[in-house]
Amino acid sequence: QKEVEQDPGPLSVPEGAIVSLNCTYSNSAFQYFMWYRQYSRKGPELLMYTYSSGNKEDGRFTAQVDKSSKYISLFIRDSQPSDSATYLCASHQGTSYDKVIFGPGTSLSVIP
Amino acid sequence: NAGVTQTPKFQVLKTGQSMTLQCAQDMNHEYMSWYRQDPGMGLRLIHYSVGAGITDQGEVPNGYNVSRSTTEDFPLRLLSAAPSQTSVYFCASSYRRSTDTQYFGPGTRLTVL
């Protein structure tokens, strides 16, 4: 079993829709959770970085962590064509040189 | 401020050839790492370095070699290329630790025939 899993998609939504991207993880020691966005033929870039359970909001993006069910979500409100990318979730335990585990990514297309 | 740069962008090798993928960063970051990205597999850590002169193995180190003689540069060497090494390779750097925000380069697309 992979430590971090995602549905690879592709997910296609109309512009303006609310998008929900999800991850599950298996290691209960994970404390920190990240979402990276990766445009086609580019390197990943950090989008959101959260600690433990709860919600974190940044503009149109909300990251949600439910540690009881080992479930991570990223919500995108008022989605735009520029949001079309692959979204990778990642987790680690929080020690200084801990291994960061990445999910395989979900491909999102926002159609104008 | 160029961030993390990688060369070449694309490379085709024949089985058994060797080559070096270059990575440089201008952010004075101590931590640097190499990942490979394959469909359905996510990013997998190959090697990492916590500072000049210090390197260590990641999850999938076999067939790869690294060195870190300066803070800025972290080249990845393929010793004898195999088709299983066909992948997209990303270099990343972060301030001091693997768990600090990682900044990724644009990637090198490698095909081994």
Q: Does B3 touch chain A (CB under 8 A)?
A: no
> What's the mean pLDDT in A4-23?
95
Residue A81 DSSP class: G
* Cβ pair B43:A45 closer than 8 A: no
List the one residue out of B19, B28, B29, B36 whose CA is nearest residue B84.
Answer: B36
- Phi–psi pair at B23, nearest 5 degrees: -145, 135
Amino acid at A58: D
Distances (CA, A) of B36 to A46, A110, B2, B33, B42: 17, 27, 22, 10, 8
B1 in reach of chain A (CB within 8 A): no
B45 φ, ψ to 5°?
Answer: -75, 130
Q: List pLDDT tens digits, range A15-60.
A: 999 999 999 999 999 999 999 999 999 999 999 999 888 899 999 9
Helix (H/G/I), strand (E/B), else coil: B93: strand
The band of B2, judged by pLDDT with boundaries at 50, 70 and 90, is confident
Contact A97 B50 (CB under 8 A): yes
Residue A2's pLDDT is what?
80
Query: pLDDT digits over A70-101, tens only?
Result: 999 999 999 999 999 999 999 998 876 778 99
Other CB atoms closer than 10 Å to residue A46's CB: what's the count?
A: 16
| Amino acid in the structure at residue B17 | Q
Q: What is the DSSP letter of B73?
A: B
Rg, C-alpha atoms of chain A: 13
Handedness of CA B21, B26, B32, B38 (dihedral sign): negative
pLDDT mean across residues, chain B:
95
Model confidence at B99, pLDDT cuts 50, 70, 90, reads confident
Distance separating alpha carbons of residues A39 and B76, to the nearest angstrom: 24
* Chain A residue closest in CA terms to B101: A46
Residues of A in contact with B50 (CB under 8 A): 97
Distances (CA, A) of A64 to A31, A35, B99: 13, 11, 19
Q: Is B106 on the interface with A (CB under 8 A)?
A: yes
CB nearest to A97's CB, from B43, B90, B98: B98
Q: Within 10 A of B44 (CB to CB), how many other CB atoms are there?
A: 16
A4·B58 Cβ contact <8 A: no
Contacts of A69 (CB under 8 A, 6+ apart): none
